[in-house]
Amino acid sequence: MCGIVGYIGKKDCTKILLDSLSKLEYRGYDSAGIAVFENSEIRVEKTKGRIAQLEEKIHRNGWINGSCGIGHTRWATHGEPSDVNSHPHGNANISIVHNGIIENYSKIKAFLETKGYVFESQTDTETVAKLLDYYYNGDPIDAIRNVISDIEGSYALGILFKDFPNKIYAVRKDSPLIVGVGDDEAFIASDIPAFLKFTNKYYLLETNEIVVLDNGKAEIFDKHGFTIQKELMVADWDMEAAEKGGYEHFMLKEINEQPSAISSTISPRIADGMPNLNECGLTQEKLASYSNIFVVACGTAMHAGLVGKYVIEQIGRIPVTVDVASEFRYRNPIITNKDLVIVVSQSGETADTLEALRLSKKMGADTLAIVNVVGSSISREADMVIYTHAGLEISVASTKAYSVQIAVFYLLAFELAYAKGAISKEECMRLTKELESVPAMLEIVLKQDVICKYVASTLVNAENLLYIGRGLDYAMSMEGSLKLKEISYIHSESYAAGELKHGTISLVTDAMPVIAVATQRNLFDKTVSNAKEVKARGGKVIFVTHNYINVDDDVADYKIGLPTIDDLLMPMLTVVPLQLIAYYTSVLRGNDVDKPRNLAKSVTVE
> What are the residue numbers of the active site?
2, 601
Among 127, 265, 345, 530, binds ligand AGP (CB under 6 A): 345
301 and 402 Cβ atoms separated by less than 8 Å = yes
Q: Does 298 bind ligand AGP (CB under 6 A)?
A: yes
Residue 561 or 596 having the CB closest to ligand AGP: 596
Q: Concatenate the DSSP letters of all residues of 94-154 into one string.
A: EEEEEEEEETTHHHHHHHHHHTT----SS-SHHHHHHHHHHH-SS-HHHHHHHHHHH--EE
171 and 188 Cβ atoms separated by less than 8 Å = no
Is 88 strand, coil or helix? coil
Cα dihedral 277, 279, 281, 286 in deg (nearest 10): 30
Among 86, 579, 602, 604, binds ligand AGP (CB under 6 A): 602
Q: Does 388 bind ligand AGP (CB under 6 A)?
A: no
State the nearest-atom distance from the C-beta of 348 to ligand AGP, in Å: 7
How many whole angstroms separate alpha carbon 253 and alpha carbon 256? 5
Q: Does 73 bind ligand AGP (CB under 6 A)?
A: no
Angle of helix 438-445 relative to helix 571-588, nearest 10 degrees, comes to: 30
Residue 374 or 422 having the CB closest to ligand AGP: 374
The DSSP element (H or E) to which 485 belongs, if any, is helix 472-488
Q: Which of residues 116-135 bind ligand AGP (CB under 6 A)?
A: none
Residue 473 or 486 having the CB closest to ligand AGP: 486
Q: Walk across the sheet containing 94-102 and list its strands.
A: 89-90, 94-102, 153-161, 167-173, 210-214, 217-221, 227-228
How many whole angstroms separate alpha carbon 268 and alpha carbon 436? 11
Site string for ligand AGP, 131-170 (x = CB under 6 A): ----------------------------------------
Q: Does 353 bind ligand AGP (CB under 6 A)?
A: yes
Q: Does 397 bind ligand AGP (CB under 6 A)?
A: yes
State the nearest-atom distance from the C-beta of 577 to ligand AGP, in Å: 16
Residue 574 or 602 having the CB closest to ligand AGP: 602
State the nearest-atom distance from the C-beta of 375 to ligand AGP, in Å: 14
Which range in 80-88, 390-398, 493-501, 534-542 contacts ligand AGP by CB under 6 A?
A: 390-398
Q: Does 347 bind ligand AGP (CB under 6 A)?
A: yes
Alpha helices in 267-376 (DSSP H): 284-289, 299-311, 325-328, 351-362
**Count of positions (residues) in the chain:** 606
State the nearest-atom distance from the C-beta of 393 to ligand AGP, in Å: 9
**Binding-residue total with ligand AGP (CB under 6 A):** 15
How many whole angstroms separate alpha carbon 552 and alpha carbon 386? 44
What is the end-to-end Cα distance of the chain in Å, rounded? 10
Site string for ligand AGP, 236-275 (x = CB under 6 A): ----------------------------------------
State the nearest-atom distance from the C-beta of 350 to ligand AGP, in Å: 3
Look at residues 544, 540, 539, 428 and name the one whose alpha carbon lies nearest to residue 480: 544
Residue 300 or 403 having the CB closest to ligand AGP: 300
User: Distances from the Cα of 52 to the Cαs of 69, 86, 361, in angstroms?
Assistant: 18, 15, 44
Q: Does 295 bind ligand AGP (CB under 6 A)?
A: no
465 and 491 Cβ atoms separated by less than 8 Å = yes
State the nearest-atom distance from the C-beta of 575 to ligand AGP, in Å: 11
Residues 6+ apart with CB under 8 A from 338: 289, 290, 291, 292
Q: Does 350 bind ligand AGP (CB under 6 A)?
A: yes
Is 570 strand, coil or helix? coil
Q: Does 323 bind ligand AGP (CB under 6 A)?
A: no
Which range in 14-22, 116-124, 197-205, 344-352 contacts ligand AGP by CB under 6 A?
A: 344-352
Which range in 218-226, 295-303, 423-431, 536-544 contacts ligand AGP by CB under 6 A?
A: 295-303
Amino acid, res. 525: D
Among 86, 125, 166, 300, binds ligand AGP (CB under 6 A): 300
Among 346, 379, 403, 586, binds ligand AGP (CB under 6 A): 346
Residue nearest to ligand AGP (CB): 299
Q: Does 475 bind ligand AGP (CB under 6 A)?
A: no
Number of Cα atoms under 13 Å in the Cβ half of residue 597 = 8
Among 182, 299, 316, 471, binds ligand AGP (CB under 6 A): 299
Amino acid, res. 435: L
Among 36, 102, 205, 301, binds ligand AGP (CB under 6 A): 301
State the nearest-atom distance from the C-beta of 295 to ligand AGP, in Å: 13
State the nearest-atom distance from the C-beta of 217 to ligand AGP, in Å: 32
Q: Does 486 bind ligand AGP (CB under 6 A)?
A: yes
Q: Does 603 bind ligand AGP (CB under 6 A)?
A: yes
Number of Cα atoms under 13 Å in the Cβ half of residue 562 = 27
ω before 275 within 30° of 0 (cis)?
A: no
State the pairing for strand pair 292-297/491-496: unpaired
Among 396, 411, 562, 572, binds ligand AGP (CB under 6 A): 396
State the nearest-atom distance from the C-beta of 298 to ligand AGP, in Å: 4
State the nearest-atom distance from the C-beta of 276 to ligand AGP, in Å: 25
Q: Under the rule (CB under 6 A), what is the footprint of ligand AGP?
A: 298-301, 345-347, 350, 353, 396-398, 486, 602-603
